[in-house]
Amino acid sequence: MSLAFVAVIAGLALLVWSADRFVEGAAATASHLGMPALLIGMVVVGFGTSAPEMVVSGFAAAQGNPGLALGNAYGSNITNIALILGITALLSPIAVHSRLLRRELPLLALITALAVYQLWDGELSRFDAWGLLAVFALVMGWTIVQGMRGRGDALGGEMAQELECHPLPLGRALWLLALGLVVLLASSRLLVWGAVEIAHGFGVSDLVIGLTIVAIGTSLPELASSIAAVRKGEHDLALGNVIGSNLFNTLAVVGIAGAIQPTAIAPEVLSRDIPVMVLLTLSLFVFGYGWRRQGRINRVEGTVLIGCYLTYMGYLFVTVGGFGVA
C-alpha cells in the first residue's frame, strides 16, 4: 500500500511537470511552424492543460477501470469550478465579461445538458462516446473559425506575449515536446496503477478515487494557470481556462474513455456527481449575471464555492464509510 501512495504522489508531480513541458514545447514548435498565437493559445494550450485528464482516463479505460476514467472527468469538472475558481476568487475577485456570458457559458451549459442526456440511460456506449467526440470536433472547429475572425479571447494575446518574451530554439522546443509527452504517458500509467491499488486496498470504488485524488491532481495545471492569469489581471483567461477545461473533460475525456471501453454508468454518478456538476455550472450564470452590478465572482462567492467543494468531499467520505467500504 505504501508503494501505491508513493506511485500516486510521484505520478501527480511528474504529470504536472510533464504537462507544463509539453505545453511549452508544443507552443514553441507551433510558433516556429507559423501557427498564429491565437490558435496556439486555443488549441495547443487547451489540449495541454487537459492532457493529464485525457491520458489518465485513456489509460484507466484501457486497463479496465472505466469508473476511474469517469470519476477523473466529472471530478475534474467539479474541482475546476468549486475549488479552483473558489481559490482564485479568494486571491482576487474574477470579473465575468459579457462575451463569456453570451458565448462560452451558454456553450458549456449546452454541452453539459447533452452529456447528461446521453448518459441518462445508464450506459456510456461507443455510439455515445463517438457522438461526444464528434461534438468536440465541431466545437473546436467553431472556436478556431471564431478566433481567425478576430473574436478570440485574451488567451491569444497572452500566448503571443509569452512566446515573444521567452522564445525557444526549434531544437529545444522539439526536445521539450518529446520529453513532456514521454513523461506524461509514463506518469499517467504510474498514477493509474497507484490509484487502483489504493482503491482496492481501502475497499472503495475506482470511481471515488477518480473523483477525489486523481481529479485534484490532474486539475493542478488549471489551478496554476488560473492563479497566474488573475495576478496579471486577465480575468477572461482565468475563467476561460476553467470553462475550456470542462468542455474538454465533458466531451473529449469522457469520449476517449467510452470509445476505448464502453461502460455502465454507476447509479451514484447520475444521482450524486452529475447533479453537483450541473448545479455548479449553473452557479456560474448566477455569479456572472450578478444583481445590479457587473457580474463577477467575488471573495464571498469564492468562499461559497470552496464550501460547496468541501461539503461534496465530506459527503463522499461519509457515504463510502470513511473510505472503508465499496
Query: What is the tens place of the pLDDT at every residue in 86-108?
Result: 988 888 887 776 666 667 788 88
**Is 326 within a domain?**
no
Confidence of residue 11 (pLDDT cuts 50, 70, 90): confident
Does some domain include residue 62? yes
Residue located via cell numbers 464502453 = 262
pLDDT at 237: 67
Whether residue 234 is contained in a domain is answered as yes
User: Which of the four pLDDT bands, split at 50, 70 and 90, describes residue 149?
Assistant: low
Does residue 324 belong to any structural domain of this protein? no
- Going by pLDDT thresholds of 50, 70 and 90, the confidence category of residue 193 is confident
Q: Is 265 within a domain?
A: yes
> Is 325 within the bounds of a domain?
no
The structural domain count of the chain equals: 1
52 vs 225: CA distance, rounded Å: 14
Amino acid at 264: A
Q: Structure pTM?
A: 0.81
- For residue 236, the model assigns a pLDDT of 62
Q: Quick one: 285 exposed, middle or buried, by C-beta within 10 A (0-12, 13-18, 19+)? A: middle
* 150 assigned to some structural domain: yes
Pairing of the two strands 123-124 and 296-297: unpaired
Q: Which residue has the higher pLDDT, 158 or 286?
A: 286
Over residues 35-50, the mean pLDDT reads: 62
Domain limits for position 195: 2-319
Residue 245 belongs to a domain with what CATH number?
1.20.1420.30
